[in-house]
Structure 1
């Protein structure tokens, strides 16, 4: 009996010792040529345990308890690598992982479309992905700059429109939702998107969903979603320093010159990422200065980004994210006239805008079991801006948001997502008054893989919105999508959904006089509604050429647009509901990569027919034809590329502002035709962790406007250097 007890105790102690032992998995991640991949993601399947490869492509996962693990290694533009089962029992495993580039780019993993990880090729709706490498090569300072090269997307100044959903309203409202790691970034007063909030060097990728996404994302996503995914925190210390300097060329016409010196722009970013045990942190600070090619349009900005994570256990973690900036810029709205196109009217000289904005958010993620997980998102967006001289308008707002989302895998083929979110907006402003707004949303989505080829998605969302003493508005937004995989090279998709957008506080309450324009409130605004239909196809020709085509049809009801109207002898602008609008079009994109000769090419064409049904005219600021083309050649560490943009002349603009002489010569507009060049050299193959890139924007110094009376950037040259430590 004693012998049995002793033996039992022996094995119990042995099991305890073995269970207490920890091991590790480490190694390298390279591409097919053996070059190290920096920033590749490594995740243990079924957990939140993960890391990122360092500047040498190395990674390490330590402190692993005894057990069996499966590793997922992924990076944007490469095929995911899933390891065989790895047994850990106090030992250290070394893996050398090779990621191969994707021939079919639609196999990339995205999160935004269904609020969970999916392959791009499995989606029922058109989605584009922009990776960090492209952002870095083009020396992008604001994220809206790279969106100008995205199929189906148009940007007028800094207002983005997906498939013609938006025109131009100078920041008062948006039909496109922008999020940072799932945290919405529209302001509490104007509802605008502030691109300067996005830390460019910390962006892993950008996901653009085209078409109404209200069934999952609510009011602001009636036209689509732009989701910014930040880089994961590295397991070892990495410091990045990026600096750039650029200069604007002389304007095309001597009479446009308003200054005898060359106008320059520059910026510097320093960022650091590291993990200490269960705590990880990434921090970046940026200084930006632009003297501008336009008079009274200079800016100086200081911005920062903080991301920290705490691993509570192997199945749950807490993340904190904060982004913000302090900004001082000149306020250029319209030119003085076409002969002094780079100068504002005398009334606007000296007018400036100062703004301070910061968003902070907490994200808690937990995996309860193999079939159930949930996350909680809390955020606060503080926003303050003030106009100096000019109208002296100012606004301070706080926007509180909360969201809870659950994911339930009923079976291997059925996934159900559900959630609720709420927001409270508080505003104190000279231009909007002091209104409050409250919103509430409840959503659910089911995704069922009926067969290996067919996947159906159905979703429904209820939204409630209330502004001050105005009547509350609410809406149900259903959607239905299908994805059918004919074979490995051909995939069909179809989507039908409705959208809803409540008027913003700015559209409802704005009362001001800006640049001689009187703007009055409209408390009778109705919410916008729409429905969207889409059908598309993905095909791979000759195992090399990617092809994507989509046809879409959208009907808008009570579309809100700024309108010049009169009241006796008084003329003023007021946001009003356009009774009916119809938007139809096609998107076609193709591309290929010839690795043997280091060449890649992409081309896209969009046709847009956007009309005001009641007045039988085109909707404002929607170009009918858009072409984007991109070509790049790589030889070893050297790369050379060009981008071409063409947009046909918009048919309708704010004619009332032109006819009433608010914008002199405002009818002068042309097709947009812009050619950019970039060249870069990577020193990594010489054991020097640095990249050097040269960019020439608007090579031909072509003059054009995106909105009336405002010349877009003239030719400029910039050089940027990235150093990794």
Structure 2
């Protein structure tokens, strides 16, 4: 049935909503600037020697060391202190409260991803120490790295393809891992218990610095059972079936500092992450008698080498070089059985169909980046760089189909067994050059302009296919014959960005930014055949790149005890890739096409106020967002705001920090809220359908502290009471139902 918020128009005519959207965005921009100016005129009580999160230095926003306060981009940094307080089982959980960021897992526990400003996680670039993790799937890159090995996390919200690669339509997440400790030998260990999954996580590391060498070796294990959720819409037993998962992680770091001034540094890092998980199925059609998804292998291995030279001369300031090699091995298994009872005369006999499919993939990527920072003039700071990325995917698909029509004897049941196999190899090679100039043309103004040119070469290296049919028993594996590969193709694309900051108001930075995003189709979307849940999706080698343009205004105000960071943004994206019935395929097959557009606008806010004379800090962080998707079907176009994007999401509360029983302590009472989400889809068989999850609010309390040692942090503990009122909720249709009332207890020690 057609949803009332879905607007239909004739093919070739898009809904006339641009004027309304632009007017709303302009009103938000004006109101945000007014709030910032009013705040700048209000007296505030500064903390003596206080350092705030706006003072934190970040690299990800400009590829230069710039404080969050003065960054032209929408940047958030989560430092090691905050990571230690949060006992989440993944890096994604550490970023859940960043304005404009949503955690998604597509019903696969332990494989959490991030959506930024409504963009799917496939359109978010994930970097580890500045090097990209690629993942050719329809869901995007999962963040598979041990939180205990992370120094800090930097996030850019909004398009950032000029500086950080051809996937950054929604944003960028850069995870910086730890180096060696200051002392010759330091041993660390820790663990967390999660009552919501009856799970645990344990880790240990040894690190240090000896002379000019520094090192760190670490490892972790974790294991989780089915998650506990309140009885209700999603379960009657209090547990979600098929939601256990387990991880293990190993990492090594070796670094060496050299040069008379100690301004040269070279490092080698290696890591391995292995994940085994399943998928929560949820409600299924009554005709499906069996459905399972198993992901027993998700292994990532990476080796990277890095060089940094600092303060090298009056013109050449810094030089950065890095290179890496990475593999991702993944195994996906899907088993579906359906039963259709006899219903004469349309279906005179009952029919049983069972489909088992396996996908065994290997993703290999390697590349590197060279960057030179130069200062030809005191008012100009310029960077030049070049990057190369080779992204290869080998995929082996295996499908077994059993179909039985239960005719009476004689003549007996009519059976058919089909065994199909295919092999695909494809590669994307990307070379890009980038430049950025920071021009301080006035004491209070800085103009940052950047550009990047991408040249992409795409090859379909191998395609082999075979099938076998038998009416008696499952046939042996079929032989493979060479199929038709797609012609090689290439693409060139220029993306740009321009940012302006103004610091002429005391304690305040005003900023404006225009940025562009760009993402090539994945190798799966172009060349691979994907089977799952009885649906077959064929690749389309003629797909074009997705692109976006974003405009934003922001204001940051910081006196130490009053901190405000607000942003309004407006983004347009086009050539979105979606699926449609494949006219060249079998009945029911789908294929990928460029058919959709998106318009997103909203407001992001993070603010806090430390009450003078107390250790209490009320705070709020969150986002208001609207996202309209425009769809192109074969004979008509339609649009909807039901894009699975919560209109409002965030966190508010009050925290305390002080001293108790001769140790540093903190406490935090807060609520997480979301307005719910709706998603409207259309299909030729069912027409318009809308799925939804209601709004929610959870009450939470956390406390912890540190004590012992020279820095009073030899021992750290944290206790998190989550969803105290045991509310049933789901933040969006792209995330598993939330865990009910639970506690997480973590302890860290170092010697």
> TM-score normalised by the shorter chain: which range applies?
0.7 to 0.9
Q: Distance in 1 between matches of 2:430 and 2:370?
A: 15
Q: Secondary structure at the match of 2:568?
A: strand
Aligned positions of 1:469-618 closer than 5 A: 469-540=487-558, 544-562=561-579, 570-594=587-611, 596-613=613-630, 615-618=638-641
Confirm or deny that 1:435 pairs with 2:426. yes
Quick one: which of 299, 304, 314 aligns to 1:361?
Answer: 304
TM-score normalised per structure 2: 0.74
Aligned-pair distance for 1:639? 2.1
- What are the within-5 Å matches in structure 2 for residues 94-173 of structure 1? 100-102=49-51, 105-157=53-105, 158-166=112-120
Counterpart Cα distance in 1 of 2:248 and 2:639: 46
Change (3 A) 1:644 1:508: farther
CA spacing shift, 1:640–1:155, aligned 2, 3 Å: same
Aligned twin of 2:444: 453
Is the Cα contact below 8 Å between 1:666 and 1:708 reproduced in 2?
Answer: no
Name the stretch that deviates more: 478-487 or 577-586. 577-586
Closer, same or farther: CA 374–127 of 1 in aligned 2, 3 Å: same
CA-CA distance at 1:377 after TM superposition: 0.8
CA distance in 1, matches of 2:539, 2:163: 30
Shift of 1:710: 4.3
In structure 2, the residue matched to 1:465 is: 456
1:714/1:417 CA distance change after superposition, 3 Å? same
Matches of 2:179 and 2:585, distance apart in 1: 59
Q: Say if 1:234 and 1:709 are closer, same or farther in 2 by CA, change over 3 A.
A: closer
Is residue 317 of structure 2 the alignment partner of residue 375 of structure 1? no
TM-superposed CA distance for 1:569, in Å, is 8.4
**What is the alpha-carbon distance in structure 2 between the residues aligned to residue 185 and residue 447 of structure 1?**
28
**How far, CA to CA, are the matches of 2:618 and 2:578 in structure 1?**
38
* Separation in structure 1 between the aligned mates of residue 369 and residue 288 of structure 2, nearest angstrom: 46
Distance (Å, rounded) in 1 between the aligned partners of 2:127 and 2:102:
18
| Corresponding position of 1:620 | 643
1:57-114 deviation digits (Å, cap 9, x = unpaired): xxxxxxxxxxxxxxxxxxxxxxxxxxxxxxxxxxxxxxxxx993325x3222111111
Name 1:398's counterpart in structure 2: 364
Q: Tell whether 2:401 aligns with 1:420.
A: no
Give the Cα separation in 1 of the matches to 2:222 and 2:258.
Answer: 37
Uncovered stretches (5+) of structure 1, i.e. residues with no partner:
1-97, 169-173, 249-262
Deviation at 1:387, TM superposition (A): 2.5
Q: Following the alignment from structure 1 to structure 2, what is the Cα–Cα distance between the partners of residues 622 and 698?
A: 22
Distance in 1, matches of 2:574 and 2:584, equals: 26
Measure, in 2, the Cα distance between the counterparts of 1:588 and 1:200. 26
Distance 1:473 1:660 in 2: 36
The aligned residue for residue 670 of structure 1 is 694
**1:722 corresponds to which residue?**
748
Deviation at 1:567, TM superposition (A): 7.9
In the TM superposition, residue 645 of structure 1 has moved relative to its aligned partner by: 2.0
2:40 maps to which residue?
A: none
Residue 207 (1) aligns with residue 154 (2): yes
Q: What is the CA-CA distance between 1:419 and the residue it aligns to?
A: 0.5
CA distance in 2, matches of 1:719, 1:666: 39
Q: Summarize the Cα distance change of 1:640–1:574 in structure 2 as closer, same or farther, 3 Å threshold.
A: farther
**1:188 and 1:383 in contact (8 A); partners too:** no
Q: 1:24-79: CA deviations, max 9, x gaps?
A: xxxxxxxxxxxxxxxxxxxxxxxxxxxxxxxxxxxxxxxxxxxxxxxxxxxxxxxx
- Judged with a 3 Å threshold, the aligned counterparts in structure 2 of structure 1 residues 645 and 659 are, in CA distance, closer, same or farther, namely farther
2:123–2:140 CA contact under 8 A, matched in 1: no
Distance 1:226 1:693, change over 3 A: same
What is the rounded CA distance, in whole Å, between the counterparts of 1:99 and 1:304 in structure 2? 41
Q: Tell me what 2:482 maps to.
A: none
Preserved contact between residue 151 and residue 628 of structure 1 (Cα < 8 Å): no
Of residues 150, 160, 180, the one that matches 1:233 is: 180
Q: Could you say which residue in structure 2 is the equivalent of 1:348?
A: 291
1:169-201 deviation digits (Å, cap 9, x = unpaired): xxxxx21111122111223677832312x2311
C-alpha offsets along residues 429-474 of structure 1, whole Å, 9 cap, x if unaligned? 1258211111111100000111220000111100112221342122
**How far 1:496 moved relative to its partner?**
1.0
Alignment-derived partner of residue 263 in structure 2: 315
Q: Post-superposition shift, 1:566?
A: 8.0
CA distance, structure 2, for counterparts of residue 566 and residue 700 of structure 1: 51
User: Contact 1:240/1:724 (CA < 8 Å) preserved in 2?
Assistant: yes
Q: Give yes or no for the alignment of 1:216 onto 2:182.
A: no
Higher relative contact order at CA 8 Å, sep ≥6: structure 1 or structure 2?
2
1:423 is paired with a residue whose SS is strand
Structure 1 residue 297: Cα displacement = 2.1
Q: Which runs of 5+ in 2 are unaligned?
A: 1-46, 106-111, 228-239, 336-356, 398-422, 460-486, 631-636
Question: Residues 692, 118 of structure 1: CA spacing in aligned structure 2 closer, same or farther, 3 A cutoff?
Answer: same
Secondary structure in 2 matching 1:135: helix
2:707 matched to 1:694? no
Provide closer, same or farther for how the CA distance between residues 547 and 389 of structure 1 changes in structure 2, counting only shifts above 3 A: closer
